[in-house]
Amino acid sequence: MPKTFIRPSRGWVSLRLRDVWAYRELVLFLTWRDISVRYKQTMLGASWAVLQPFFSMVVFSIFFGRLAAVPSDDLPYPLFSYAGLLPWQYFATAMANSSESLIGSEKLITKVYFPRLVIPVAAVLPAAVDFAIAFVVLLGMMAFYGVAPTVNVVWLPLFLLLAVATALGVGLWLSAWNVQYRDFRYVIPFLTQFWLFASPVAYPSSIVPEGLRALYGINPMVGVIEGFRWALLGSGTAPGPVTAVSTLVALALLVSGAFVFRRMEKSFADVI
Amino acid sequence: MSNVAIRVEGLGKQYRIGAQQARYKRFSETMMDLLASPVRRLRQLGQPPPPEETIWALRDVSFEVGQGEVLGIIGRNGAGKSTLLKILSRITEPTEGYAELDGRVGSLLEVGTGFHPELTGRENIFLNGAILGMSKTEIDRNFDEIVAFAEVEQFIDTPVKRYSSGMFVRLAFAVAAHLETEILLVDEVLAVGDAAFQKKCLGKMGDVAQAGRTVLFVSHNMSAIARLCQDAIWLDAGKVRARGEVTEVIQNYLSEGVKEEASAEFVPKSNRAAQILSIELLTPDGTLATTHLANLPVRIRVRYRLSERISAYRVGLRIRLADGLDVMTTASSDVEGDLWTDDPGVYSATVEIPGLLLAPGQYFVTVFLGQPGVKVHDRHENVLAFRIEGRTKSLVERELGLIATPLHWEASRFAVEHSE
């Protein structure tokens, strides 16, 4: 029979990923709950998943593509920006949901035990449904502009995984801090906006001077978005040092976030 | 049954008192503190807070629970019962001490945790089950039983936001009641639904207790505790005050705070139109007593003062059992239906509870004075306790019921049986 030992913990504690794994069904149930609740009582339902990036694309195309004549790696600007907006939109939504997830689950945290990591993890997944729906539209646009995917498309899931890792990494940090200090709730919209302009969504990373690209890659979304366009549309440059830097930063965010989360976890039920 | 399922050693939990009011801090406050006195703050970081800002919700709690034992936990609000269960269910960490649980642990600190109003009953069963730690196969297996227990068959595919509150709690309890862990920690979840459903819940908990699982059961409902548990722990101000056979612990717990004294006096407060001054328990010959014989009447005398003329008032008593059940209410307006009207002065009212009415046991007295439908002028809850003792054989045990009135029986032969 399984034994449970309960004693006060001090300082840094192990992640206990095995416990999280044991509760994988709960992760799925929470994800499924968020997805099915998401579109109930909305008039336009799933089309919201497309409307948001689509209208952003239209605005970007008019102001950046046409008026400011921002380069687009030889792709039609609408296709270029939409392909950037998709992973970005996923990331921004997943990060915000994950960061807010703990304070939105106060009841669960004060009344039931399960590994707390489950909550921010489950919160990054539902946005993937929106992504999938919007992705279908992207395929339509590719057909419209006559852009065929390259063989590199097999790498696409890896770049998506990188986006998940980044969103979760930030989500772990912010959700834990959010429990202690509600100020972090106001940080999120600001951070999202700031981050959008620091990511190659509306412009290609080729406008960044060659020597600074690796530095630019410290923003993991640079690796994600550039990789996404490269794998699907064959644009830009093949993954290189920039991707490596992005991946390392994303992993560092994720691992440090998980440890910080676990360290702060013990006071969640008392403070929230 | 010598195997220990739960071992608790020196368990303690400290809370910051400040954390009670402003539960989470604003980051700016911490930053301001940090800026104001960086050295002091940095030195304090990671160190225990000063003792005057903290409170021990639980301290030095040690006990063991054998496998298959059903242990009740009683105590006043704030005695640490819920904190104890939260620590054992791993919701919060202890500050000191240690606990060991042998077997899968399920905890029911609340029913319906995680229910989502937009989801249907069916969906919520699976969601809530998963939150409580059940696997999908486990939920599948118990699904029909859960639905039947909750009596919501027709509405199982309706969003629970359209449920009545009764249906909602029935479903919530039904899911929780089907947790199949070896150890179950239960906090006051029986107080849901209507009386009939509560009875059903109690029955279900009884089945759980019979099934050889280890249960820690927190409740304010003493009769439920007495029915389900063999042993009980009395927590008082975060410490174990007593542990032992359930009825004994309950008796000790309940008789504390309520003096088993034959009289009580109340400090008069100014600017009250009417107030109760004292209450006394008397035997028929007029002596003060807390123990009364079952076959003799108990006389209760209430003295009160009217500071002004009060019209249409009455004086009353409520007799209550140790577990909170009201046995009877009697008021001066009972017999004639008349309310009294009196000029200012000090009055004394006496009532006699006849002998051979209350069964042996302990009773608590509440006294009140008021104008029905207008105002309750004065009221004192559970101010006295008295005991009825039986001397004749048929009056010894409480299990006989609440009423001890001997009734006359007759028998007549209805048909003749031939035995050959």
Among A26, A40, A272, whose Cβ lies nearest the Cβ of B130? Answer: A26
**Token pair for B221:** 């409902």
**Token pair for A137:** 């539209």
A191 by Cβ neighbours in 10 Å (0-12 / 13-18 / 19+) ranks as middle
Residue B109 sits at the chain A interface (C-beta within 8 Å): yes
Q: Tell me the domain boundaries of chain A.
A: 17-271
CATH no. for residue B127?
A: 3.40.50.300
A237 by Cβ neighbours in 10 Å (0-12 / 13-18 / 19+) ranks as middle
- A108 and B30 within 8 Å at the Cβ level: the answer is no
Among B27, B133, B136, whose Cβ lies nearest the Cβ of A114? Answer: B133
**Token pair for A23:** 């509760």
Query: Mean pLDDT, consecutive 10-residue segments, chain A of 272 residues?
Result: 82 84 90 85 76 90 89 88 94 94 88 91 92 92 90 91 96 92 85 92 87 88 93 82 92 95 87 80
In the predicted model, is pLDDT for residue B353 greater than 80?
Answer: yes
How high is the pLDDT of residue B25?
59
Cα A270 to chain centroid distance, Å, stands at 29
Question: Which amino acid is present at B108?
Answer: L
Among B88, B116, B133, whose Cβ lies nearest the Cβ of A6? Answer: B88
Is residue B61 one of the residues assigned to a domain?
A: yes
Going by pLDDT thresholds of 50, 70 and 90, the confidence category of residue B1 is very low
Residue that finishes a domain, picked among B255, B276, B311? B255
What is the helix (H) or strand (E) element at residue B346, kind and residue range?
strand B345-353
Question: Is the CA virtual torsion A113, A116, A120, A121 positive or negative?
Answer: negative
Angle CA(B3)–CA(B9)–CA(B14) in degrees, nearest 5?
145
Question: Which amino acid is present at A22?
Answer: A
- A108 and B99 within 8 Å at the Cβ level: the answer is no
Which residue in A has a C-alpha nearest to residue B139's C-alpha? Answer: A25
Is residue B419 one of the residues assigned to a domain?
A: no
In the predicted model, is pLDDT for residue B19 greater than 60?
Answer: no
In the predicted model, is pLDDT for residue B127 greater than 70?
Answer: yes
Asked if residue B372 and residue B249 are part of one domain, the reply reads no
Asked if residue B126 and residue B79 are part of one domain, the reply reads yes
Asked if residue B142 and residue B50 are part of one domain, the reply reads yes
Asked if residue B243 and residue B122 are part of one domain, the reply reads yes
Residue that finishes a domain, picked among B230, B255, B280? B255
Asked if residue B274 and residue B192 are part of one domain, the reply reads no
C-alpha dihedral (B58, B64, B69, B73), degrees to nearest 10: -20
φ, ψ dihedrals at A85, nearest 5° = -65, -30
Going by pLDDT thresholds of 50, 70 and 90, the confidence category of residue B64 is very high
**Contact between A249 and A169 (Cβ < 8 Å):** no
**Token pair for A110:** 């004060």
Q: How far apart are CA B211 and CA B202, in angstroms?
A: 14
Interface of B with A in 121-140 (CB under 8 A): 123, 126-127, 130-133, 135-136
Asked if residue B244 and residue B136 are part of one domain, the reply reads yes
Question: Which amino acid is present at A161?
Answer: L
Asked if residue B280 and residue B132 are part of one domain, the reply reads no
Q: How far apart are CA B231 and CA B249, in angstroms?
A: 8
Mean per-residue pLDDT for B147-156?
Answer: 90
- B136 and A25 within 8 Å at the Cβ level: the answer is yes
CA distance A130 to chain B (A): 20
Which residue in B has a C-alpha nearest to residue A26's C-alpha? Answer: B130
Residue that finishes a domain, picked among B255, B279, B308? B255
**Domain span including residue B79:** 4-255
Residues 6+ apart with CB under 8 A from A159: A87, A223, A224, A227, A228, A231
Nearest to B129 by CA among B84, B165, B181: B181
In the predicted model, is pLDDT for residue B32 greater than 80?
Answer: no
Q: How far apart are CA A145 and CA B277, in angstroms?
A: 94
Q: Which of A44-48, B12-16, B149-153 has the lowest mean pLDDT?
A: A44-48
- A1 and B103 within 8 Å at the Cβ level: the answer is yes
Q: How far apart are CA B133 and CA A108, in angstroms?
A: 12
CA distance A265 to chain B (A): 9
Residue A8 sits at the chain B interface (C-beta within 8 Å): yes
Asked if residue B281 and residue B240 are part of one domain, the reply reads no
CATH no. for residue B348?
A: 2.70.50.60
CA distance A186 to chain B (A): 11
A48 by Cβ neighbours in 10 Å (0-12 / 13-18 / 19+) ranks as middle
Interface-testing mutation among A5, A21, A113, A190, with chain B (most B C-beta atoms within 10 A): A113
**Contact between B61 and B8 (Cβ < 8 Å):** yes
Is residue B167 one of the residues assigned to a domain?
A: yes
**Which residues in A lie closer than 8 A to residue B30 (C-beta atoms)?**
181
In the predicted model, is pLDDT for residue B131 greater than 80?
Answer: yes
Asked if residue B238 and residue B208 are part of one domain, the reply reads yes
Asked if residue B355 and residue B244 are part of one domain, the reply reads no
Q: How far apart are CA B298 and CA B289, in angstroms?
A: 9
Residue B55 sits at the chain A interface (C-beta within 8 Å): no
How many alpha carbons lie under 13 Å from residue A22 in its C-beta half-sphere? 13
Which residue in A has a C-alpha nearest to residue B138's C-alpha? Answer: A25
Domains of chain B: total: 2
**Contact between A79 and A143 (Cβ < 8 Å):** no
Cα B35 to chain centroid distance, Å, stands at 48
**Which residues in A lie closer than 8 A to residue B113 (C-beta atoms)?**
107-108, 111-112
Asked if residue B89 and residue B23 are part of one domain, the reply reads yes
Q: Given the structure tokens 């994720």, which residue do they identify?
A: A254
Question: Which amino acid is present at B122?
Answer: R
Q: Which of B179-193, B228-242, B330-344 has the lowest mean pLDDT?
A: B179-193
In the predicted model, is pLDDT for residue B61 greater than 70?
Answer: yes
- B24 and A272 within 8 Å at the Cβ level: the answer is yes
Asked if residue B326 and residue B213 are part of one domain, the reply reads no
**Which residues in B lie closer than 8 A to residue A20 (C-beta atoms)?**
none
**Helix, strand, or coil here: B383?**
strand
Angle CA(A19)–CA(A22)–CA(A26) in degrees, nearest 5?
110
First-to-last CA distance in chain A?
33
Is residue B8 one of the residues assigned to a domain?
A: yes
Among A2, A37, A107, whose Cβ lies nearest the Cβ of B114? Answer: A107
Q: How far apart are CA B174 and CA B148, in angstroms?
A: 9
Question: Is the CA virtual torsion B399, B403, B408, B411 positive or negative?
Answer: negative
